[in-house]
Amino acid sequence: MSLLTGGAISTFLGLLGLIFWWSYFVAILKGAVPIFLILGGILAVYIGFDDIQDKLNRERQKQEEELARAREEIEAVKAQTTQYREELDRLREETSRKSSPE
């Protein structure tokens, strides 16, 4: 109950203050608006810059993942190539043994 009473009294005093000191209030608003615009602009630039950095980092990470996948594929192909070479050498040896006169 005391909170409700205190809120009502504060609201009433605030309204009286606005009525009696309206010109001062308007002067404060006139001075505060440019400051708020400057601060808001700085905040927007900072957030935009941070967003651009995040996008660049995501792109860089995506490229690194693709590069890692490509390296893995290259290693797999190298291993398969080695296996095929060994099999080809084995087949050559077998055919040379069969074709050579004994």
* pLDDT at residue 1 tops 90: no
What pLDDT score does 102 carry? 56
Task: Give dist(CA 7, CA 11) in Å, integer.
Answer: 6
Per the structure, the complete domain to which residue 22 belongs is given by: 2-99
| pLDDT tens digit sequence for 85-99 | 999 999 988 888 877
| pLDDT tens digit sequence for 10-68 | 999 999 999 999 999 999 999 999 999 999 999 999 999 999 999 999 999 999 999 99
Tokens representing 71 are 């390296």
Task: Give dist(CA 86, CA 92) in Å, integer.
Answer: 10
Crossing angle (nearest 10°) for helices 2-20 and 22-99:
110
Task: Give dist(CA 39, CA 71) in Å, integer.
Answer: 48
| pLDDT tens digit sequence for 18-34 | 999 999 999 999 999 99
pLDDT band at residue 73, thresholds of 50, 70 and 90?
A: very high
Count up the domains in the chain and report the number.
1
pTM of the predicted model as reported, rounded to 2 decimal places:
0.54
